[in-house]
Structure 1
Amino acid sequence: MAGRRMAPVAEDRYTIDDLCAELEPRLDADSLERIRRAYAFGARAHEGQQRLTGEAYITHPLSVARTVSELSLDADSIVAALLHDVLEDTSVPRERIEADFGETVARLVDGLSKLTHLSFNSRAEQQAANFQKMMLAMVDDIRVVLIKLADRLHNMRTLGVMPVHKRHRIARETLDIYAPIANRLGINTLKHELEDLGFAALYPMRYRILSEAVRRARGNRKELMQKIEIVMAERLHQEGLDARVIGREKPLYSMYRKMREKHLSFSEVFDKFAIRVIVDSVDTCYRTLGLLHNLYKPVPGRFKDYIAIPKGNGYQSLHTALFGPHSIPIEVQIRTADMDRFAESGIAAHWLYKSRGDDSEHPLKTHGPAREWLRSLLDMQQSTGSSVEFLEHVKMDLFPDEMYVFSPRGDIYKLPAQATVIDFAYAVHSQIGHTCVAAKIDRRLSPLSTPLHSGQTVEVVTAPGSTPSPLWLNFVVTAKARSAIRHYLKYQATEEATEFGRRLVRRHLDRYGMTIDDIEPDRMQRTLTEFGYRDADHLWIEVGLGNRLPSQVVKRLVPEDRAAATQENRDKPGVEPVLLEGGESMVVSFARCCRPIPGDNIQGFLSAGKGVVIHRASCSNVADYRRRPDKWLPVEWAPDVDGEFSACITVEVMDRRGVLARVATLISDQDANIEHLEFEDRDRMTSVLRLVLSVHDRVHLARIIRTLRQLPAVMRVRRETR
């Protein structure tokens, strides 16, 4: 945030005296004195720095502290807000802040400071690393992100002085990350203002058009809404209920997003204006709901009970829609005063701390939903490989739309919209996600990729030994599921690459009558140093992934005298081939040009990053690969090879009704799956089906082909290679 040092200094309007006057009713004299000292400290540190608005730089930390104060946070938070840019933009060290204001304030300020002392390959990587640092600091102390949201809010309020490209970038980042974080923490006051400011900066023309339309609609509806409020309040008071009835306008960005996502015109948005009813207890909420449904007819299918089942951020309220006078739909929210305070302030309303005689000791005790989200952030951090990947997962985790599904025991699970069975399985437990093989939705078997809907009961079927499939990444929605699957696949690939690389090196060492245990430690260390690897496992991984040829490695590991003595054996054909057992899925791939299956004569080709690519010996590409014998690898199927393999067949059929269904049924009856199907009309009498099947081996494929040839409508069946 340094570098804003141009334009004449503008006169300050909001002062430290104003801040302290607002804080005086709830903070003691010592705390107020610390806040004044922090302001003076920050003013000296930022002396000479200006914002693009022309104001002295200290006006920014002061505005951030004001917002933090409005969230009712403690003195440490306000002090940290006043100092939040000191470490990043000045030469003041962390130790100085800790000595003057305590370890807690120093930790908060450090969590808010960017990683300016490290180098990054790109701006995206730097942004992701800074974001990851802030989020992990938030896990330790939620006040970090609350101060950051206040910081972002003031920057958005003064965004107009920025160049257009910077305005757009900051506005997009606000809408994609910071407003959803405010929503995830339930702080609607910050969320709505961040969204509207981001909307105005990113789409200024749309913002002006929509705000003008709302202004005109407000004039037409104002009198009607006031009458409805009066009628509701009178009816509730007649029944002896102590209630406040308040009208509200839907925030502009929320309205714009609803119009865009549901393809609605402005006139079709019925909740532009809504009514909030604040009562004294949960019981009164439900009584109020009944009275209002008697007063105005409810709109079918528009009732939501967020009191019985709160949103993921802890929000609670009853939502309903009513047909008001002239059949105008009215959105109504019914909640208690405590629920209303939480709806506006979110986690800040749960700011509970125990004073121990020193303002530096105020440990935050977060409520359930926030604590669960923070725990999920830690899980994501542990299973992601980079800060960019971490940022991607957090963005996925900030979905505002939720649904609720049930386990067979009746437990409720909150999931984002469009979540699948796999997402549900990982929400229950990571191990259940790893081993799931099938699912029942409302007692009916369903594919694992099936999107779920609120109210469904989901039963996951697991099988010991089952593992996640890379294909799951194509349809999972939740960050937890995606990061867990990636972490497992990465670990599995590492394990397989280590073992496979060791097998390849062992096979080449056999030519010299050596084993891995015979390698001299000094020679191994020299080889590792030459290649830049930290240990032997790293070397085996690189060999297993095809990034390092086993012949190159063995040439350096074998002593010169042993190599010379066995020169004639080193190039002798007929060396023991590598056996494929079917469990090397991460380091062995099967060429799509010829689709080899167990029983075929095969050859292996070492490919960087892919490990070994297996071809049929008769494949036309084998001739090209043979020109590079150093990368060629003799391979064979193990006697007990296990797994499913892809094979392609072409079926010529007479063009008759139902022939495709008959072919698919026969293939299914032979315990095979159709992975892909292409259909081509050859002429008016015949058609050609090209099918990619999952089979066990050549015997299995031959049985399928033999069965298909018995169909009267089938003219020819052959295995295809491309």
Structure 2
Amino acid sequence: MTAISIIESKSNKVELPRWLEECLLNQHSDHSDPDATLICRAFNFAYKLHEGQLRKSGEPYIAHPIAVASLLRNLGGDSVTIAAGFLHDVVEDTEVTPEEIEEMFGGQVRQLVEGVTKLSKFNFSSTTERQAENFRRMFLAMATDIRVIVVKLADRLHNMRTLDHLKPEKQRRISQETREIFAPLANRLGIGRFKWELEDLCFKYLEPDDYEEIKTLIAERRTDREARITQVTETLRSRLEQLKVNVIELEGRPKHLYGIYQKMQRQQKEFNQIYDIAAFRIIVETNEECYRALAVVHDAFKPIPGRFKDYIGLPKPNRYQSLHTTVVGLNGRPIEIQIRTLEMHQIAEYGIAAHWKYKETGTSNPELSSEDTKFTWLRQLLEWQKDLNDAQEYMECVKDNLFEDDVYVFTPDGDVISLAQGASPVDFAYRIHSEIGNHMKGARVNGRWSMLSKPLENGDIVEIVTQKNSRPSLDWLNFVVSPTARNRIRQWYKRSHRDENIIRGRDLLEKEMGKSGFEALLKSETMQAVARRCNYHSVEDLLAALGYGEITQNHVVNRWRDIVKEQQPIEEAEIISEEDVEISNYTSNNVRDKGKSPIIGVEGMLYHIAGCCKPLPGESIMGAVTLSSRGISIHTHGCHNVKKVPKERIIPVNWNTQGEAGKPFTYPVDIQIEAMDRVGVLKDILARLSDRGINVRNAGVKTGRNKPALISLSLDIRDRQQLEYIFQGIKSMSDTLHICRVINSGDR
């Protein structure tokens, strides 16, 4: 029984597209080719796995893979891509493994399916983290095979087309992600057909009232608009024929709805004040005829100064080529006209997918086969991926740099460099080479000295002036826009303050491990082994990393303990002393009044958390009976204040991790952060703490000229694990230089 008859025997029928029906009918014929066989096998396999599954609309789930595969086929996708379209959900929604996909359909199909598959079976601490990890994985897969994102775009387009059946809040969430990520990705890949439809569908769900209003207004003026389009088309066609320009296609059509809405917002105008809602396209045979057609257009209609762009001579990064001009048309209304060849038009419509079509027809075009400049933006994303560990910061970087159009500037030798909108000469310098940025003294733009913070514009010729003794300034972080430049400046600052960082790292480790024998410990083979296990070449490198917050002292101590246990298992002795213990003002009366104690072993007794070490759950603790009326003092094992406390005054205690009605206890913790001094850095840190549900008792900032900001925070923390989680989140911010826990000896 074939797949077609199986589908027709079900109550919920799925209508097959003609191309797939013909493929299935011919799969067992003597003339069936391997590509068609692969596509049919993928469909049959997907149909069997998705059997019984329904979409929110109530239709069989297999309708979605069929639609995705059809979109890919229309783009000119090969058999591997179309097969991946059928199979893109099977790993996520069924029990099939990637290994089984590879065994049945080959390594390329597996690679595409894995690249598209979401990470739904992994656990993340937040939605942002999940989203960031999905995109990290997708971009890595794209770097290996760009077809990954083409399959994903087809998947997202069909999901957007069928979004009506979801709840409004989910419609808005998916539409927002599509507008911020997938429509710009379609633009970056030059797939205009996908980009325009994705943007209009997002517009429909995110601004429904404006969408319906513009849609209605365009429909109401259709007759008048079509009359003007016909008149302009006839005028241009007549002029072009007179000069024997071979026109393949000449048409005018309304712009897509979201494009009109954007223009209204950008120019702060009402719909009736936007005249150029239609655009004309002239498609000719050769590059030379493009420029001849442009001359005809400018002769027939008066060009508007400053509204001409030559994307043939200077293509966009997504390989888009065309001539754009705006002229004054009939009744004084502006007209936008695009002029291109048929090959350019295919690339404008299908983008990266267009090379599949040309590959099949044997066209050899160096621009189409060159891999050096095609995906500069993707290589930048992968580079930023290494630099940005924080999920929220990474997502902001992706959105900013996908959405904005590039600025094209030139080196003095005439090489074209593409930069993000708002990029400065500093961004340009770091784009050329890190050392040029690090030793930058100034910049000449178009032959004149320029402010380093001034944004570059299209066509600027930029010359960077360097000096051996010049160095980056912290002020640059306030205006650079590329993550690469920001990260290189931060790295230089850390390296240049290596001695200070080593001293800070020594102090932190000494506080954690104690002064006794510390110098000998640093020179020991054990500490060398600790450095190597933490992926540093030397103990000094380890201390420097500890000093600027790349690694925590808790991590170092844990590695040291692991190595010591491996070398010679030892019993950890309790350190006791006779000295009386001075303590902090903090007690747990608020929870003890409820009949619950956060410390097991002191029930019914007066106790307090010692201010000298301020232990947290997750750290080994001991109780010391004080000679004052303060009761029992709770310390960490190894605290220097209990070295001489007699054994008879030491009592065993443990943490009670659950408070009243299962609510965890919290403890006050002071931390200090050194960060690049810029506007909003404290706000960003507090936002991250808020996202993680951390209560901030107090916050303060100290700043100095050309010095890092010193931020002091008092937090309510449940345990050591939560504190480490917070440290990792703040450390991953690009502005953070150092973070540490503060235990004020003045409290003792």
Give TM-score, length-normalised by structure 1: 0.70
Structure 2 residue 101 is the aligned partner of structure 1 residue 97:
yes
Per the alignment, residue 328 of structure 1 pairs with 333
Question: Residue 51 of structure 1 aligns to a residue in which SS?
Answer: coil
Report if aligned partners of 2:24, 2:40 keep a CA contact under 8 Å in 1.
no
For residue 270 of structure 1, the aligned residue among 259, 275, 288 is: 275
> Match of 1:230, as an amino acid?
E
Structure 2 residue 320 is the aligned partner of structure 1 residue 315:
yes
Per the alignment, residue 408 of structure 1 pairs with 412
Question: What is the CA distance between 1:115 and its match in structure 2?
Answer: 1.8
How many residues are paired up? 577
Question: Residue 171 of structure 1 aligns to a residue in which SS?
Answer: helix
- Aligned identity (percent) is 38
Mapped to 1, the partners of 2:68 and 2:434 lie a distance apart of 40
> Match of 1:128, as an amino acid?
A
Question: Residue 327 of structure 2 aligns to a residue in which SS?
Answer: strand
Question: What is the CA distance between 1:257 and its match in structure 2?
Answer: 1.3
Structure 2 residue 283 is the aligned partner of structure 1 residue 281:
no
For residue 86 of structure 2, the aligned residue among 59, 82, 89 is: 82
Per the alignment, residue 209 of structure 2 pairs with 205
Question: What is the CA distance between 1:10 and its match in structure 2?
Answer: 4.6
Mapped to 2, the partners of 1:160 and 1:322 lie a distance apart of 40
Question: Residue 409 of structure 2 aligns to a residue in which SS?
Answer: strand
Structure 2 residue 74 is the aligned partner of structure 1 residue 70:
yes
Question: Residue 515 of structure 1 aligns to a residue in which SS?
Answer: helix
Per the alignment, residue 141 of structure 2 pairs with 137
Mapped to 1, the partners of 2:11 and 2:485 lie a distance apart of 51
Describe the superposition over 1:562-609 as per-residue Cα deviations: whole angstroms up to 9, x where unpaired.
x99xx9xx99xxxxxxxxxxxx997999x97696999xxxxx999998
Name the CA shift for 1:251/1:491 in 2 (closer, same or farther; >3 Å). Answer: farther
Mapped to 2, the partners of 1:466 and 1:9 lie a distance apart of 76
Per the alignment, residue 347 of structure 1 pairs with 352
Counterparts of 1:68-217 in structure 2, within 5 Å, are 68-217=72-221
Question: Residue 215 of structure 2 aligns to a residue in which SS?
Answer: helix
Per the alignment, residue 224 of structure 1 pairs with 228
Describe the superposition over 1:265-288 as per-residue Cα deviations: whole angstroms up to 9, x where unpaired.
223323210111111111111111
Runs (5+) with no aligned partner, structure 1:
1-7, 356-363, 572-583, 599-603, 614-623, 630-722
> Match of 1:204, as an amino acid?
P
Per the alignment, residue 41 of structure 1 pairs with 45
Structure 2 residue 8 is the aligned partner of structure 1 residue 12:
no
Question: Residue 374 of structure 2 aligns to a residue in which SS?
Answer: helix
Name the CA shift for 1:612/1:412 in 2 (closer, same or farther; >3 Å). Answer: closer
Mapped to 2, the partners of 1:353 and 1:237 lie a distance apart of 29
Name the CA shift for 1:490/1:216 in 2 (closer, same or farther; >3 Å). Answer: farther
Question: What is the CA distance between 1:331 and its match in structure 2?
Answer: 0.8
Question: What is the CA distance between 1:190 and its match in structure 2?
Answer: 0.4
Mapped to 2, the partners of 1:284 and 1:508 lie a distance apart of 75
Report if aligned partners of 1:317, 1:339 keep a CA contact under 8 Å in 2.
yes
Question: Residue 221 of structure 2 aligns to a residue in which SS?
Answer: helix
> Match of 2:106, as an amino acid?
G
For residue 248 of structure 1, the aligned residue among 244, 253, 272 is: 253
Question: What is the CA distance between 1:467 and its match in structure 2?
Answer: 4.5
Name the CA shift for 1:493/1:268 in 2 (closer, same or farther; >3 Å). Answer: farther
> Match of 1:241, as an amino acid?
V
Name the CA shift for 1:513/1:498 in 2 (closer, same or farther; >3 Å). Answer: closer
> Match of 1:444, as an amino acid?
R
> Match of 1:434, as an amino acid?
N
Counterparts of 1:191-590 in structure 2, within 5 Å, are 191-243=195-247, 244-351=249-356, 367-464=371-468, 466-485=470-489, 497-498=501-502, 500-502=504-506, 515-516=519-520, 541-542=545-546
Mapped to 2, the partners of 1:320 and 1:250 lie a distance apart of 15
Name the CA shift for 1:130/1:492 in 2 (closer, same or farther; >3 Å). Answer: farther
Describe the superposition over 1:101-140 as per-residue Cα deviations: whole angstroms up to 9, x where unpaired.
1111111111111223322111110111011111110110
Mapped to 2, the partners of 1:168 and 1:151 lie a distance apart of 18
Mapped to 2, the partners of 1:511 and 1:123 lie a distance apart of 44
Mapped to 2, the partners of 1:588 and 1:512 lie a distance apart of 37
Name the CA shift for 1:596/1:44 in 2 (closer, same or farther; >3 Å). Answer: closer
Mapped to 1, the partners of 2:388 and 2:705 lie a distance apart of 34
Question: Residue 259 of structure 2 aligns to a residue in which SS?
Answer: helix
Question: What is the CA distance between 1:59 and its match in structure 2?
Answer: 0.8
Mapped to 1, the partners of 2:308 and 2:738 lie a distance apart of 57
Report if aligned partners of 2:674, 2:738 keep a CA contact under 8 Å in 1.
no
Mapped to 2, the partners of 1:249 and 1:368 lie a distance apart of 36
Mapped to 2, the partners of 1:270 and 1:588 lie a distance apart of 47
> Match of 2:260, as an amino acid?
M
Question: What is the CA distance between 1:386 and its match in structure 2?
Answer: 4.3
Report if aligned partners of 2:532, 2:538 keep a CA contact under 8 Å in 1.
yes
Describe the superposition over 1:463-485 as per-residue Cα deviations: whole angstroms up to 9, x where unpaired.
33655444433322234434544
Mapped to 1, the partners of 2:511 and 2:87 lie a distance apart of 63
Question: What is the CA distance between 1:528 and its match in structure 2?
Answer: 13
Describe the superposition over 1:623-676 as per-residue Cα deviations: whole angstroms up to 9, x where unpaired.
x977247xxxxxxxxxxxxxxxxxxxxxxxxxxxxxxxxxxxxxxxxxxxxxxx
Range with bigger deviation, 195-204 or 473-482: 473-482
Mapped to 2, the partners of 1:441 and 1:221 lie a distance apart of 44
Name the CA shift for 1:507/1:197 in 2 (closer, same or farther; >3 Å). Answer: closer
Q: Superposition RMSD on alpha carbons, in Å?
A: 4.6
Report if aligned partners of 1:436, 1:462 keep a CA contact under 8 Å in 2.
yes
Report if aligned partners of 2:498, 2:544 keep a CA contact under 8 Å in 1.
no
Name the CA shift for 1:325/1:17 in 2 (closer, same or farther; >3 Å). Answer: closer
Name the CA shift for 1:514/1:65 in 2 (closer, same or farther; >3 Å). Answer: closer
Question: What is the CA distance between 1:514 and its match in structure 2?
Answer: 6.5
> Match of 1:324, as an amino acid?
G
Describe the superposition over 1:6-65 as per-residue Cα deviations: whole angstroms up to 9, x where unpaired.
xx975322347546569999x962221221111110111112211001111111011000
Report if aligned partners of 2:674, 2:737 keep a CA contact under 8 Å in 1.
no
Report if aligned partners of 1:64, 1:147 keep a CA contact under 8 Å in 2.
yes
> Match of 1:344, as an amino acid?
E
Mapped to 1, the partners of 2:676 and 2:333 lie a distance apart of 63
Mapped to 2, the partners of 1:208 and 1:467 lie a distance apart of 55
Per the alignment, residue 65 of structure 2 pairs with 61
Question: Residue 468 of structure 2 aligns to a residue in which SS?
Answer: coil
Mapped to 1, the partners of 2:140 and 2:169 lie a distance apart of 29
Runs (5+) with no aligned partner, structure 2:
1-9, 361-367, 565-571, 580-639, 642-672, 679-699, 716-722, 728-735
Per the alignment, residue 746 of structure 2 pairs with 627
Question: What is the CA distance between 1:389 and its match in structure 2?
Answer: 3.7
Mapped to 1, the partners of 2:171 and 2:194 lie a distance apart of 19
Name the CA shift for 1:298/1:128 in 2 (closer, same or farther; >3 Å). Answer: same
Report if aligned partners of 1:509, 1:516 keep a CA contact under 8 Å in 2.
no
> Match of 1:346, as an amino acid?
G
Mapped to 2, the partners of 1:588 and 1:239 lie a distance apart of 63
Report if aligned partners of 2:188, 2:318 keep a CA contact under 8 Å in 1.
yes
Name the CA shift for 1:527/1:220 in 2 (closer, same or farther; >3 Å). Answer: closer
Question: What is the CA distance between 1:446 and its match in structure 2?
Answer: 2.6
Question: Residue 746 of structure 2 aligns to a residue in which SS?
Answer: coil
Question: What is the CA distance between 1:423 and its match in structure 2?
Answer: 2.0
Report if aligned partners of 2:503, 2:547 keep a CA contact under 8 Å in 1.
no
Report if aligned partners of 1:350, 1:367 keep a CA contact under 8 Å in 2.
no
Name the CA shift for 1:124/1:611 in 2 (closer, same or farther; >3 Å). Answer: closer
Report if aligned partners of 1:499, 1:544 keep a CA contact under 8 Å in 2.
no
Give TM-score, length-normalised by structure 2: 0.68
